[in-house]
């Protein structure tokens, strides 16, 4: 294997295309505390990169047997053997070591140490048992909640309510992404190989090319997806958003457009009658873009128009560029 192809394989293993979104989680926590110092936010972004790599490589390591048995995921690096399990373990330990080095050297505080331990432990529990115990998606969601708190605690150990609202938005989105979207796209292989997932428990099934999505699964999806609207309302009603109508209206209009796009794509994939995994992934990607883009807009009073532009388009360009580089498709990664 030549060096460029090998680098590409390792980037696929690390799920590099979604790294920017994951890495912004602690950054959002700090922004919610009013932190705008570029150097501090950059360090948190780097910490988030290490957290992303450790989490996703651990997930690939733990799911490699499932992936090997599925025609949709058998080409993944660990499943097909292009990267050894020992090499994956080395990546996990290096990213874990570097993240703890940052905690000890740059952010050391007993509370921060505890929060770092909690978010890493919750993430690991999901990776180890997520296919075996129904509902452990909540453990992964809680991990993201605490990762956001980690960023906030590096600014001040007395947190404001906005931090908890933002952290809850992140947790609910990861819960939706994993339990609903992930459950749908993997339903065929998960059911065949005995995985215990929310989608299977709520009756989602495939029959040949046909896809059956029961009403109880759709209701669960709507509850998880609509719950964040309450927290968005709380943020927009907070003192942080005491702006003139002229400044507030354009942002509120954009949020309304994004929520509309989010709900449209939600209806779209919950109405699917055929199991077409590639089409699903395209709809999921668009849905995630609409959903994610709402969050940077909530920081307008803190970061301004330029900050919003960076927070939206950095992860979007990162996602599309690496998808094209690694999979030759802008919105359909091979996951």
The percentage of residues in the chain with a pLDDT greater than 90, rounded to a whole number, is 81
The tokens describing 25, both together, are: 């989680």
The tokens describing 105, both together, are: 């050297």
DSSP 238: S
pLDDT for 230 beyond 90: yes
pLDDT class of 100 with cuts at 50, 70, 90:
very high
pLDDT class of 55 with cuts at 50, 70, 90:
very high
Q: What mean pLDDT is predicted for residues 251-257?
A: 95
pLDDT for 334 beyond 80: no
pLDDT digits (tens, 9 = 90+) for 272-317: 999 988 889 899 999 999 999 999 999 999 999 999 999 999 999 9
pLDDT for 148 beyond 80: yes
Residue in the structure block whose two tokens are 């999921």: 284
Structural domains in the chain?
Answer: 14-236 (1.10.357.140)
pTM listed for this prediction: 0.94
Cβ-count burial of 291 within 10 angstroms (0-12 exposed, 13-18 middle, 19+ buried)?
buried
pLDDT for 251 beyond 70: yes
Distance CA 146, CA 112 (A): 10
In contact, 236 and 298? CB cutoff 8 Å: yes
Question: At 226, which helix (H) or strand (E)?
Answer: helix 215-236
Q: What is the pLDDT of residue 198?
A: 95
Q: What is the pLDDT of residue 127?
A: 93
Distance CA 234, CA 243 (A): 15
Beta bridge partners of 205: 212
């Amino acid at each position: 294997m030549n060096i460029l192809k090998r680098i590409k394989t390792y980037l696929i293993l690390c799920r590099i295309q979604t790294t920017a979104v994951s890495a912004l989680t602690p950054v959002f926590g700090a922004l919610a505390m009013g932190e705008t110092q570029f150097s501090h936010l950059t360090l948190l972004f780097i910490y988030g990169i290490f957290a992303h790599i450790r989490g996703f490589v651990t997930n690939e390591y733990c799911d490699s047997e499932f992936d090997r048995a599925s025609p949709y995921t058998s080409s993944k690096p660990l499943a097909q053997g292009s990267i050894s399990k020992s090499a994956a373990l080395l990546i996990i330990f290096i990213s874990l070591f570097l993240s703890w080095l940052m905690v000890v050297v740059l952010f050391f505080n007993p509370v921060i140490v505890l929060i770092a331990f909690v978010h890493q432990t919750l993430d690991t529990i999901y990776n180890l048992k997520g296919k075996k115990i129904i509902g452990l998606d909540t453990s992964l969601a809680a991990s993201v909640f605490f990762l956001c708190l980690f960023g906030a605690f590096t600014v001040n150990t007395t947190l404001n309510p906005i931090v908890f609202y933002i952290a809850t938005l992140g947790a609910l989105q990861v819960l939706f992404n994993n339990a609903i979207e992930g459950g749908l796209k993997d339903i065929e292989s998960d059911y065949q190989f005995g995985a215990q997932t929310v989608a299977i428990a709520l009756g989602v099934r495939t029959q040949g090319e046909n896809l059956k999505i029961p009403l109880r699964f759709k209701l669960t999806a709507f509850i998880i997806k609509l719950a964040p609207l309450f927290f968005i309302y709380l943020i927009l009603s907070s003192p942080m958003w005491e702006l003139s109508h002229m400044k507030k209206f354009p942002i509120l209009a954009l949020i309304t457009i994004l929520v509309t796009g989010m709900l449209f794509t939600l209806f779209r994939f919950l109405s699917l009658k055929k199991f077409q995994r590639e089409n699903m992934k395209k709809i999921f990607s668009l849905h995630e873009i609409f959903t994610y883009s709402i969050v940077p807009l909530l920081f307008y009073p803190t970061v301004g128009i330029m900050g919003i532009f960076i927070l939206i388009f950095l992860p979007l360009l990162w996602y599309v560029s690496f998808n094209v580089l690694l999979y030759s498709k802008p919105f359909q990664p091979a996951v």
